[in-house]
């Protein structure tokens, strides 16, 4: 499979998720193996400098799952770096994202593929929007305020850009500018390239084991500067030309 193209690549950056990652891999197998649109899929785990047994857990599972790949950062570089590592290594025409904590349910992956298949090349990204969120009161309302401000400034039509369940046409994602924390602004960056977005409602799940690797206020501090930066990037893209190639 090393040199073979596939329909779908699923990227999962994770750090210290040894108790969650095996369950998630089994769920992905159950969701995608019967799905015709996911023919010859691959799942890429990016171990972002874990200090627990995450790497060995995935390495053991890889022995019986030929579609499973395992990449490892020598030290923790963050979620955005993990996604970029996985994207550059991926082979699928469609690239999907899941968080390693298991809160994103893989059962929705076939639905994302169906939308790409039915709605045409103008759709660059399909993303989940959470219903019945399981976050605490403070985190939930801070996220709601942040999404409101982001939507007002960036006009990306995404009410829940923080949800980890997303899928892209690979060539569209490769065209996006990379920076730390870019995963929080992917809808706006896809719109900047002239592509359409589609959304599906999904049900958020509780984390089974461990704790979140980030809180409310640490994200807010960097988020303000990032938001201004992405707003600036969007204003710099004035014209999106339609390109055709001359044929003799």
What pairing do the DSSP bridges indicate for beta strands 92-97 and 68-73?
Answer: unpaired
Flag the least confident range among 172-181, 187-196, 229-238: 229-238
| pLDDT tens per residue across span 38-65 | 989 999 999 999 999 999 999 999 999 9
**Which residue would you say has higher pLDDT here, 43 or 186?**
43
Q: In the prediction, which pLDDT does 101 show?
A: 92
Cβ neighbours of residue 154 closer than 8 Å, sequence gap 6 or more: 185, 188, 191, 227, 230, 231, 234
Q: In the prediction, which pLDDT does 140 show?
A: 56
pLDDT class of 122 with cuts at 50, 70, 90:
very high
**Which residue would you say has higher pLDDT here, 184 or 96?**
96
CA 94 – CA 46 distance, rounded (Å): 18
140-169: average pLDDT: 70
CA distances from 134 to 97, 116, 217 (A): 19, 28, 18
Query: CATH class for domain 6-236?
Result: alpha beta
14-33: average pLDDT: 96
Q: In the prediction, which pLDDT does 134 show?
A: 57
Average pLDDT over the chain reads 85
Q: Look at residue 210 and tell me whether its pLDDT is greater than 80.
A: no
pLDDT class of 146 with cuts at 50, 70, 90:
low
Spell out the SS3 assignment of 136-187. Answer: CHHHHHHHHHHHHHHHHHHCCCCCCCCCCCEEEEHHHHHCCCCCCCHHHCHH
Q: In the prediction, which pLDDT does 216 show?
A: 42
In the chain, the percentage of residues whose pLDDT exceeds 70 is: 81
pLDDT class of 205 with cuts at 50, 70, 90:
confident
What pairing do the DSSP bridges indicate for beta strands 68-73 and 123-131?
Answer: unpaired
Query: Per-domain residue ranges for the chain?
Result: 6-236
């Amino acid at each position: 499979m090393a040199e073979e193209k596939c329909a779908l690549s699923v990227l999962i950056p994770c750090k210290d998720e040894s108790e969650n990652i095996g369950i998630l891999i089994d769920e992905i197998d159950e969701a995608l193996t019967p799905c015709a649109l996911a023919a010859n899929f691959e799942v890429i785990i990016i171990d972002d400098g874990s200090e627990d047994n995450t790497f060995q857990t995935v390495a053991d599972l890889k022995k019986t799952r030929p579609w499973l790949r395992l990449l490892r950062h020598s030290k923790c570089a963050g979620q955005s770096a993990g996604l970029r590592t996985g994207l550059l290594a991926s082979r699928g025409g469609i690239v999907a994202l899941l968080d390693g904590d298991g809160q994103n349910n893989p059962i929705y992956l076939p639905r994302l593929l169906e939308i790409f298949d039915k709605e045409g090349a103008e759709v660059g990204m399909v993303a989940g929007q959470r219903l019945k969120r399981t976050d605490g009161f403070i985190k939930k309302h801070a996220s709601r305020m942040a999404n409101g401000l982001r939507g007002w400034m960036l006009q990306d039509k995404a009410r829940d850009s923080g949800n980890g369940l997303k899928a892209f046409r690979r060539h569209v994602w490769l065209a996006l500018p990379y920076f730390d924390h870019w995963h929080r602004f992917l809808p706006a960056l896809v719109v900047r390239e002239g592509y359409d977005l589609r959304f599906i409602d999904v049900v958020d799940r509780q984390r089974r084991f461990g704790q979140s690797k980030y809180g409310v206020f640490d994200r807010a501090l960097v988020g303000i500067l990032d938001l201004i930066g992405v707003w600036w990037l969007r204003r710099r893209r004035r014209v999106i030309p339609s390109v055709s190639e001359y044929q003799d």
